[in-house]
Amino acid sequence: MSLSETLLSAKSLGVTYGAKRRLFGPADGGNKVLHGVDIDIRRGETVGIVGESGSGKTTLGRALLRLVDVSAGAIHFDGRDITHMPDAEMRPLRRRMQMIFQDPMASLNPRHTIRRILVEPLLLHGLETDRQAAERRVAMILERVTLPQTCLDRNPHELSGGQRQRIGIARAALLEPDFVLADEIVSGLDVSTQAQVLNLLKELSRDLGLSMAFISHDLSVIRAICDRVYVMRHGRVVEEGDCDRVFAAPASGYTRMLLDAIPLPEIDPTWLGRETEQEDAA
């Protein structure tokens, strides 16, 4: 596996919400929210997407997964053009492109036990055909995300926010994806829980060789976990580069403004590494 190989990319991507389709000519009207976005996500790489609320981050992430209609440009996944791929053809690719949501309460069925939430997708996607084998796999991933097995008999609302987010991560990782989209997944958590969840995700993505797009409005979170970053404003990419470079010497005035807006104590880029070292030493 070569790190320079592109797994998922978009070229000149445009998304317009609510446009009227016309038989001939371009779609009519609507709210144009992405304008000619280029993005490349390489194998094994974690790419950050940052920008203020409303800048188009979620739309970009969802367009990459083909969850919103693309009105211009092209998307390639693993060498294939998926821009207008029919649903039936997309289905086997869906398992390989997973998403972790901002609010796990909204994405985990409140009436189901954690066991059911984790076991069913394995059977549904045919990764396991036998329920007991699926349960064994679930028990292993639970350990991997450091949750007690007693969680299995609970419902989502009986867990803490951090625990629920670990379930969201476990559910995505179980399906052995190539690509994971994480959209504001630590926004609702306190800073120390954020660090734990980010640490876990960083380890998992390294161990599984995952490619990740990590969306956040918070540059200090991006810095803690990403290799490269795209800065978005008004539906356009205004800056792209290695995190180290972008944070040390932002080229865009907008990036500089975002950096200036971070409260200073939170921008210590070593906090994540420090915590890992302590765990290793323990």
Ligand X SMILES: Nc1ncnc2c1ncn2[C@@H]1O[C@H](COP(=O)(O)OP(=O)(O)O)[C@@H](O)[C@H]1O
Which residues contribute to the site for Mg ion (CB under 5 A)?
57-58
Tell me if 54 contacts ligand X by CB under 6 A: yes
Give the tokens for residue 147: 């949750």
Applying CB under 6 A, the span of 49-57, 124-132, 167-175, 203-211 interacting with ligand X comes to 49-57
Applying CB under 6 A, the span of 47-55, 92-100, 171-179, 186-194 interacting with ligand X comes to 47-55
Tell me if 56 contacts ligand X by CB under 6 A: yes
Tell me if 149 contacts ligand X by CB under 6 A: no
Cα–Cα distances (Å) from 180 to 31, 84, 236, in that order, read 27, 21, 22
CA atoms within 13 A on the CB side of 95: 14
Tell me if 58 contacts ligand X by CB under 6 A: yes
Which one, 2 or 53, has the nearer CB to ligand X? Answer: 53
**Minimal CB distance residue for Mg ion:** 58
Residues 15-34 that bind ligand X (CB under 6 A): 17-18, 31, 33
Q: Please tell me what DSSP assigns to residue 218.
A: -
The torsion defined by the Cα of 79, 81, 83 and 89, in degrees rounded to 10, comes to -100
Cα–Cα distances (Å) from 72 to 6, 11, 15, 16, 38, in that order, read 21, 9, 7, 9, 12
Which one, 102 or 163, has the nearer CB to ligand X? Answer: 102
For the chain, the distance separating the N- and C-terminal CA atoms, rounded to the nearest angstrom, is 32
**Considering only CA atoms, which of 15, 62, 38 is closest in space to residue 237?**
38
Residues composing the chain? 282
Minimum CB–partner distance for residue 10 and ligand X (Å): 14
Applying CB under 6 A, the span of 48-56, 114-122, 148-156, 264-272 interacting with ligand X comes to 48-56
Which one, 54 or 161, has the nearer CB to ligand X? Answer: 54
Question: Which residues make up the interface to ligand X (CB under 6 A)?
Answer: 17-18, 31, 33, 51, 53-59
